[in-house]
Amino acid sequence: MAFEWYDAIGALGSLLIIGAFFFLQIEKIKSDSMSYSILNGLGAVLVLISVFYSFNLAALILQLFWLAISAIGIIRVVKKKKQS
């Protein structure tokens, strides 16, 4: 099995998601911060790219929800900033 460019993109996406969670756990980032949602959303997009080249239904479902939830977080931060 060869390690293709899309595998590297997906691995980077996984690292972004894991990194965001790690920083949350060590309290270097807050769950309601823009950076947390962006890291998760970007990670999900990168994993989705790899999924389109090497299909996996479970990964597709997980990343679509991960991206949607991240988008909700980004929208909430933007709305909160507009109100203040």
Claim: this prediction has a pTM higher than 0.85: yes
What is the tens place of the pLDDT at every residue in 58-71? 999 999 999 999 99
Distance (Å, whole) CA 10 – CA 82: 34
Give the single-character DSSP code of 32: T
Show the tokens assigned to 63. Answer: 């990343």
For 44-53, the pLDDT digits (tens) are 999 999 999 9
Domain boundaries, the chain: 30-84
Letter for the amino acid at 83?
Q
